Structure 1
Amino acid sequence: MTSVLHHHLYTGFLFTYSDFKTIFFPITIFAAVAAPVHSKSQLFLAIVWIWLHLLQCNVSNQYKSCEEDKINKPWRPLPSQRVTFIQAQKLRWALVALCLTYSLSFGVDVALVSVVLTLTMIVYDEVGLAGHWAGKNICAVYGYGTFEIGATKIMGYTSDLDKTAQMSVVLSAMIVLTTIHVQDFPDVDGDLALGRRTIPITFPQASRILTPLIMIGWTAILNNAWMLGPTISTLMYVLGGVVAARIWGNRTTSGDRRTYLYYNVWLFCAHLLPANARFGGLSW
């Protein structure tokens, strides 16, 4: 029994592993700051909510992109034959019911957030918006936004979002809309094999020029919006500058993969910045 449980838990971990750095940790930190977190128990319940919905999203995406994963991420459960396609398909729809049921325990508003996230996954994977850069980026905004709103509602003293929380969600959504394609630079080969039209494929030169400028621009906006001090502002500019320079100058697959890692560090820090409006401490 223990070995079977371990097998299933590890399979779930493998489904979600790639997005711990892109969704799980940034969303958890974001909600803890934006809410702000009301208690340890609420924090734990929100973490479970985030992971279950992340699992739903990942299973939905991965059973539709197994051929790509054979090229880019062969260790995932489907290409490594840890689970079959039919098993993943059944799990994908079972998770819809599980996530909705769990969300209902926090109220109708959180359940509606879960429904929106599920619908976003359906149009992304089932309808096929994942194949075009515009649809992919718009779905990413809805995906990140619903994760952030749902987790913030669960963590907070009340499910209502105040002005700081609302501003945090809007800024985060705009950042995702305009920069999330950084994740597509190292996956060009796999995306080409599937006939996808991501931003790095559709605009190979322009994306290498404009994305660095957007990174620096958002760093400036965040520094001003959250009234950061000179030391923290400088650190954010250094992080944003590193990502920008690497996007322009380091164009190998391994280099783009490392750049995406640095981008996630920058994004993680960006999600921490509303703490200055909540608690202060970042004005030095």
Structure 2
Amino acid sequence: MSVKATVLSSLLALSKKIYRSLRHEVCLSWQFISGDISASIVPGLLFMMAAWKTHPTNAVDFLMVLGRGIVYFWLYIVPFCISNQIVGIEEDRINKPHRPLVKGSVSLLGAKVRLVVSMVLFGLVGWWFGVLEWALLWQGCIFLHNLGSGSKHWITKNLFMGVGALAQLAAAWQLVTPITSIAWQWILVVAGVWLFLAAIQDLRDIDGDRAIGRNTFPIAFGETTSRVVLTSGFGLLPFVIHFALMVPAGLTWNVILCDIVLAVISFTIAARIVSFRLPKADHYSYMLFTYWFCSVLVCAIAVI
């Protein structure tokens, strides 16, 4: 075999090895984050579209915007999920046995290495894309929520979810164009919804949270009281969104349609919270909340 053929064969073998490694990392990353796509990547991209619509350019620029968003928000959610699952292995054995650390798809050391690498990459990408302040704010939330025991108490747990939503939406808009006053109005209102209603995600995990000593809202105030409070919150949510976000946009068919869709989702969640009390049903109710999150950002595209 000639030297050239040997070199080509070696390069081909190396390329295949790199491809297999990258494919493995992507698949493993997906296992970590698959349950949180509708609360992270999709909303981020939707709000970027709303920002782009205010200053539309051409199709190539739009595709580049989406490309930046996919990279940024993938790295946004990966370190959160990895760190959350590193500290929650025992809880996940009860609540989420499908997760990679519980299944043995990756070692604890391997997860920690990937956490460090993803945090570094996220910071570098945030700097490169001009949203470093929001990347650092989210990294602070990750550290305090997951590694600093902030998730152990319902006040700090919900607070970091609200601040995280603010960092997410502010970065999404700023990845496209400077944040305007109307953008801030949407960011603060939607982040406030997460702050006050994020406890819906804790209804499905009561047994696991109690087993590890986590004092979530349903554990602190009782499941029945929590369901009443959350049901009331989701019942009032359509009115909050209407007056805070839709009225300023004017009375148009887009606004009316958005009001109707968001109200239907909100009232459905409210009904489910009091009607179904099994963890699986509560999980679906939480997922419906993430779909509401995506829907309100679709409305931003329509009305801003």
Task: Give the drift of 1:19.
Answer: 0.4
Q: Confirm or deny: 8 A CA contact 1:104 1:111 kept in the other structure.
A: yes
Match of 2:92 in 1: 69
Give the Å deviation of 1:55.
0.5
Greater gyration radius = 2
| Structure 1: gaps of 5 or more residues | 279-284
Q: Which of 242, 249, 272 lines up with 1:246 in the alignment?
A: 272
Give the TM-score taking structure 1 as reference length. 0.90
Distance apart, 1:242 and its partner CA: 0.9
The answer (yes or no) to whether the contact 1:33–1:274 under 8 Å persists in 2 is yes
Specify the alignment match of 1:174 in structure 2. 192
- In the alignment, which of 249, 252, 255 is matched to residue 281 of structure 2? 255
- CA contact under 8 A between 1:34 and 1:164: conserved in structure 2? no
Q: How far is the alpha carbon of 1:273 from its aligned partner?
A: 2.1
Change (3 A) 1:230 1:94: closer
Residue 229 of structure 1 deviates from its aligned partner by 4.2
Q: Name the residue aligned to 1:140.
A: 161
1:3 and 2:24 equivalent? no
Match of 2:35 in 1: 18
Take 2:156 and 2:183, find their aligned partners in 1: how far apart are those partners? 26
| Regions of 4+ moved over 3 Å | 34-38, 227-232
For the residues of structure 1 that align with 2:207 and 2:129, how far apart are their CA atoms?
42
**8 Å Cα contact 1:35-1:153 kept in structure 2:** no
| Local SS of the residue matching 2:31 | helix
Q: Distance in 2 between matches of 1:79 and 1:26?
A: 28
- The yes-or-no answer on 1:226 pairing with 2:243 is no
Q: What's the CA shift string for 1:88-146, capped at 9, x where partnerless?
A: 11221222211111111123xx1121111111111112210101100100111111111
- How many pairs align? 273
CA distance in 2, matches of 1:111, 1:272: 25
How large is the Cα RMSD of the aligned pairs? 1.7
Counterpart residue type for residue 261 of structure 1? M
Q: 1:27 to 1:86 in 2, by over 3 A?
A: same
Alignment of 1:72-151 (within 5 A): 72-107=95-130, 110-151=131-172
| Correspondence 1:153 to 2:153 | no
User: Which residue is 2:7 aligned to?
Assistant: none
What fraction of aligned residue pairs are identical, expressed as a percent?
24
TM-score (norm 2): 0.85
Q: CA contact under 8 A between 2:46 and 2:301: conserved in structure 1?
A: no
Instruction: Look up the equivalent residue of 2:150 and give its one-letter code.
Output: L
Counterpart residue number, 1:190: 208
Question: In the alignment, residue 31 of structure 1 is paired with which amino acid?
Answer: M
Match of 1:282 in 2: none
Q: Could you tell me how far apart the structure 1 residues matched to 2:75 and 2:234 are?
A: 30
- 2:29 aligned counterpart, secondary structure: helix
Q: Which structure shows the bigger proportion of residues in helix conformation?
A: 2
